[in-house]
Amino acid sequence: MDAQLVALAAGGASALVGAMVTDAWGQARDQAVGLWRRHRPAQADAVDAELVSSQEELVAGTESEELLRARMEGRWQGRLERLLEEAAEDSETAADLRTTADVIAGLAAASGTGSVVQNVRAGRDSYTAARDLTIGVRERDASPDG
């Protein structure tokens, strides 16, 4: 297989796995399944089921996240490479994969969500939030007399 197609499959797999932990996952999955529906319709339902399973496995996080993501990307890179190999004569499939990967990466980036781990050690008055947080201190609370 051509090195450019291998790189294209790797980039597509990375975008796909990256999207699995974002709010845009549903749209990203639809894009990926759509790719198979256009080029290998008989495989589309199996790919959809495997995507759901992969995402559930990634979210469950039963292994180290880094190892799991690498394994998942390898799995999906292989699927994308096979799709490209089966359509070796069809440059439209490669162009479609490139476009789909770009859309998926854009969806994941636009969702603004991903995995975040926070370790907080605090005494009095500590706050943490996943998004915006406004803390108001009343005058009475701030005085040394309390």
Higher pLDDT, 4 or 78: 78
Measured at the CA of 102, the angle between CA 70 and CA 27, to 5 degrees, comes to: 85
pLDDT digits (tens, 9 = 90+) for 28-73: 899 999 989 988 899 999 999 999 999 998 888 766 778 888 999 9
Neighbours of 46 (CB within 10 A): 11
Does the reported pTM lie above 0.85?
no
Which of 111, 87, 102 shows the shortest CA–CA distance to 25? 111
